[in-house]
């Protein structure tokens, strides 16, 4: 397995509270991604990063922010969680500039916002 961990793996929180999810990689890949997976929607890209402090929005970025202060860590923050953000969140990494466009996924974080 690619060296990707996500923490926490499960979280229950209340509407309006801030939540931070962490993705950690040991592969030194330049690109890191956050997706959410919901029934009927498949995977949708929230934000991605192409280097330290370099991030960009994905398809469903509203209500989310990200930060990448080190190559190995990519944080996803829900500033004020809403019930619509209940989902399974996946982190992924890739190194497309080396001709390897494959993405490697973490195990996921199940978030329930009450």
Interface residues with another protein (CB under 8 A)?
4, 31, 33, 35, 40-45, 48, 50, 58-59, 90, 92, 94, 96-97, 101-108
What CA–CA distances, in Å, run from 66 to 28, 37, 55, 98, 99? 18, 18, 8, 25, 26
Q: Which is nearer to another protein, 41 or 70 (CB)?
A: 41
Farthest-apart Cα atoms in the chain, separation: 43
CB 87 within 8 Å of CB 36: yes
77 vs 104, beta carbon nearer another protein: 104
SS3 (DSSP) at 96? helix
Residues present in the chain in total: 114
Q: What is the closest distance, in whole angstroms, from the C-beta atom of residue 80 to another protein in the complex?
A: 26
Taking the complex as a whole, the smallest distance from the CB of residue 16 to another protein amounts, in Å, to 28
Nearest CB to another protein, comparing residues 79 and 101: 101
CB of 49 to another protein, least distance (A): 10
Quick one: 59 or 79, whose CB is closer to another protein? Answer: 59
| Rounded Cα distance, 85 and 78, in Å | 8
């Amino acid at each position: 397995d690619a060296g990707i961990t996500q923490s926490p793996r499960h979280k229950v929180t209340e509407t309006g509270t801030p939540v931070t999810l962490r993705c950690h990689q040991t592969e030194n890949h330049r690109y890191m991604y956050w997706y959410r997976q919901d029934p009927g929607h498949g995977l949708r890209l929230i934000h991605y990063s192409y280097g330290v402090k370099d991030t960009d929005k994905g398809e469903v970025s509203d209500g989310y922010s990200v930060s990448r202060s080190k190559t190995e860590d990519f944080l996803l923050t829900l500033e004020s969680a809403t019930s619509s953000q209940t989902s399974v969140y996946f982190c992924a990494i890739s190194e497309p500039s080396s001709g390897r466009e494959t993405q490697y996924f973490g195990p996921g974080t199940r978030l329930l916002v009450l």
